Amino acid sequence: MPSAAEPLPSYSLAAEGVEDIALQPGWPYDVTREWAWGDSTGKGVRVCVLDSGVEVDHPQVGGVERSVAVEADAEGYARVVDDDTGDVFGHGTACAGIVRSLAPDVTITSLRVLGSANRGSGVALLAGLHWAVDEGFDVVNMSLSTTNKEYLPILAGLTDRAYFKRTTLVASAHNMAVESWPWRFSSVLSVGTHEAADPLCFYYNPQPPVEFFARGMDVEVAWKGGGSMRTAGNSFATAHMAGICALVRGKHPGLTPFELKSVLMLTADNARA
């Protein structure tokens, strides 16, 4: 047993530091949806939609605070620049519209990393996520993934950094039974689809890697050109969960991603009596 004279290992807690990490009481005995997000509109919450861009004047989007895009030079180096192109495919507009429908007072930033075929490079994904984490968004909607294992070390580091900076990354599981990332990382909130029609219905999955199931079938979404369409996929389930995350953060802005996941687990439809 070490003596009192021996120094503490790095990252340890000294006796006099216990008071500095005291947790403020405030969690009820029974965590209900009313406690979690009752009366919340998402006001004060900053959401980044990392996607194909967002059509800023689409009536279902309700405005965008800023639009940026990843731009790569001839040598493959990427940077994030202000952008007025809008949505080059429609997918990002759909996700932004879903988030807005659930959390009408959030502030949305569009970060375009996908092209007109709704595909993008790993370099663009990494550069975009790096920027989003540095900007300190509360919630980042990532209705996309990569199957390229080359990018896993950097991607894992970015998702961990987001986790410790209190940025919740809400990431879509692949629509096909293939391995892809970042949804498989435990530091993100991973989402698949269920078949119910209620936009606030979601289920916690006790058998990850998919942690939550949300509405993603036969969803009417905003689309490029000011219109809408009916579609399905894990992308849109992810946007529903991002909107719910924004509601919770709007009422409880100090929650960490770990605490937010805990609240969602306790308020999921399959956890309520």
- The predicted-structure confidence for 180-198, as pLDDT tens digits, reads as follows 999 999 999 999 999 999 9
The SS3 call for residue 103 is: coil
The residue to which tokens 């719910």 are assigned: 244
Instruction: Fill in the amino acid letter for 99.
Output: V
The residue to which tokens 């369409």 are assigned: 229
Residue pair 140/168 in contact (Cβ under 8 Å)? The answer is yes
Give the torsion sign (CA, 43, 48, 51, 54): positive
Residue 2 has pLDDT above 70, yes or no: no
How far apart are alpha carbons 146 and 119 in whole angstroms? 10
Confidence of residue 127 (pLDDT cuts 50, 70, 90): very high
The residue to which tokens 């937010």 are assigned: 260
Residue pair 240/199 in contact (Cβ under 8 Å)? The answer is yes
Residue 272 has pLDDT above 90, yes or no: no
**What secondary structure does DSSP assign to 50-88, as a single string?**
EES---TT-TTT---SEEEEEEE-TTS-EEEEE-----S
Tokens linked to 205: 């999955």
Question: What number is the average pLDDT over the span 120-126?
Answer: 93
Residue 74 has pLDDT above 90, yes or no: no
Confidence of residue 22 (pLDDT cuts 50, 70, 90): confident
Question: What number is the average pLDDT over the span 238-261?
Answer: 98
Q: How far is CA 13 from the centre of its chain?
A: 31
Residue 1 has pLDDT above 80, yes or no: no
Residue 3 has pLDDT above 60, yes or no: no
Question: Strands 189-194, 212-215: parallel, antiparallel or unpaired by DSSP?
Answer: parallel
Residue 21 has pLDDT above 60, yes or no: yes
Query: pTM for the complete prediction?
Result: 0.95
Q: 140: exposed, middle or buried (C-beta count within 10 Å: 0-12, 13-18, 19+)? A: buried
Confidence of residue 67 (pLDDT cuts 50, 70, 90): very high
Residue 225 has pLDDT above 70, yes or no: yes
Residue count of the chain? 273
Position with higher pLDDT, 98 vs 76: 98
How far apart are alpha carbons 117 and 102 in whole angstroms? 28
Question: What number is the average pLDDT over the span 148-166?
Answer: 97
Q: What is the mean pLDDT of the chain?
A: 95
How far apart are alpha carbons 94 and 263 in whole angstroms? 26
Residue 273 has pLDDT above 70, yes or no: no
Q: Which helix (H) or strand (E) holds 222?
A: strand 219-223
Q: What domains appear along the chain, each with residue ranges and CATH number?
A: 40-267 (3.40.50.200)
Whole-number pLDDT of residue 4? 57
Question: Strands 219-223, 227-231: parallel, antiparallel or unpaired by DSSP?
Answer: antiparallel
Write out 70-139 in H/E/C secondary structure: EEECCCCCEEEEECCCCCCCCHHHHHHHHHHHHCCCCEEEEEECCCCCCCCCHHHHHHHHHHHHHHCCCE
Confidence of residue 211 (pLDDT cuts 50, 70, 90): very high
Q: Which helix (H) or strand (E) holds 228?
A: strand 227-231
